[in-house]
Every structure is written in C-alpha cells, then in structure tokens.
Amino acid sequence: MLCSCQDSNSLELGFPDDEVDLSRLDKVLANYHQQPGSLIPVLQKAQDIYGYLPLSVMTKIAEELKLKPARVFGVATFYTQFRLKPLGKYVILLCHGTACHVNGSERIETALMEELKIKADETTPDGLFTLGSAACLGCCSLAPVMMINGQAYGPLTPDRACQVVRDIYTQEATQVEGGQPA
C-alpha cells in the first residue's frame, strides 16, 4: 500500500514517467462523455490507443467525465484487462483454465519462463514479449492453449510453445534486417 502524505511515497512514483499525446483521447471522450456509466468503455478505448493506461490519461479521463481520480484508479485496478505499465509487443496469454491445467499448462509456463528468461507477468528487456496469463480462453478442446495478440495456439507441448516464441524472434529479426521498423 502506498501512502500519499509524503512526497517520497507519492502514488505518482509507482507509475512509469511517460509523456503521451493526450489529444488522441479527444474523439473518444466526445463520443462517450454524455453517456452515464461509460467509464469502462472509455478506459478500454484509451488502452487501445496507448497500449496501456498512463497516469496522465487516467487523470484527463477523470476530469472530462467529472469523476474523482480515485474512482478511475479503482476501476482501472479492479479489472485485469487494464494495464498501468506498457506491455511487450507480443503479449502471451497462457491459459490456466481447468482443462488446460489438467493437461499440463504449468509445464508450458515453466518452459516459457526458461525460454524467455523472465517470470510470469514480466516483460522481456527487449520489450518483445510479456508472459501473461488468462483464467480461461474458452478453447478447452485444444488444451493446453496460449494466445498471442489474438492468435490461439494449441494443443501445446513445452517444445511447441518455445518454438512459437523462437519463430516470432526470427520473424522480428528478419524484419529489422530488411529495414522495416521492429
């Protein structure tokens, strides 16, 4: 828990120090500010724009929707979809549903942590991969499953999961060499 009464413990220090272009929010806010109860769709659209929810964005949303910043922060931290830190380019959602668990999702997680050299919920230093999890992706007949940026992969073995990651690394490397932005 962070106490806000001293500057050194200020809540703001827990957020990445990011400058973002707040004008990108204008259209979203114009669409929704007349609709009561629209905080969640606004936060979702904001996250689509910025990839996560910077503190300045949440503050602006609070101002425009006439809500207390604490209320916005409460909603942003309640729902698991919202990220307060930037994610990697490829977000791996490893399914931890019952069917996946029974079919060995923990072994897949161990293998991926070994391969990426990060722990669960962390992002690789090169900013390429975040190892996240989902409670259930609803593809139980393909257990164990992982989803990367909307694309589902399954049934997985530890080897197959690592191969998917290696293929993406290769793909990214060739794009950089070809002069394309990574």
Partner 1 sequence: MKIRVGMGSCGIAAGALEVWGALVNDLAGRQADITVEQTGCIGMCYLEPLLDVVSDQRTVTYGRVTPQMVANILKAHLDQGTVLTEQVVATSEAPSPFMQGQVRIALRHCGLINPENITSYEEQGGYQALSRAVGTMTPLEIIAEIKQSGLRGRGGAGFPTWFKWQAAHDNAGQVKYIVCNADEGDPGAFMDRSLLEGDPHTVLEGMVLAGLAIGASQGVVYCRAEYPLAIKRLEIAIKQAEERGYLGANILGSNFSFAIRVKQGAGAFVCGEETALIASLEGERGMPRLKPPYPAEAGYWQQPTNINNVETYANVPWIIANGGQAFAVYGTEKSKGTKVFALAGKIERGGLAEVPIGMSLEEVIYGIGGGIKGGRQFKAVQLGGPSGGCIPAHLLHTPVDYEALVATGAIMGSGGMVVMDDRTCMVDIARYFLDFTQKESCGKCVQCRIGTKRMLEMLERICAGLGQEGDIELLEELAKRIGEGSLCGLGQGAPNPVLTTLKYFRHEYEAHIREHKCPAHQCKALIKYIIDPDKCTGCTICARKCPVKCIQGEKRQPHVINHEQCIKCGNCYEACPAKFAAVVVE
Binding residues for partner 1, per CB under 8 A? 36-41, 43-44, 74-75, 78-82, 96-104, 107, 110-111, 114, 134-143, 145, 150-154, 157-159
To partner 1, the closest distance from the beta carbon of 96 in angstroms equals 7
Nearer to partner 1, 153 or 169 (CB): 153
Other CB atoms closer than 10 Å to residue 140's CB: what's the count?
A: 17
Least CB distance from residue 179 to partner 1, whole Å? 29
Give alpha helix (H) positions in the chain.
Answer: 26-32, 39-50, 55-64, 69-78, 98-102, 105-116, 158-177
- The strand pairing partners of 131, in sequence order, are 92
CA angle 10, 26, 48 (to 5 degrees): 75
Q: Which is nearer to partner 1, 11 or 13 (CB)?
A: 11
Cα 43 to Cα 166: distance, rounded to the nearest angstrom: 33
Q: At its nearest, how many Å lie between partner 1 and the CB of residue 120? A: 12
DSSP class of residue 5 equals S
Nearer to partner 1, 87 or 136 (CB): 136
Cβ proximity to partner 1: between 79 and 174 the closer is 79
CB of 146 to partner 1, least distance (A): 10
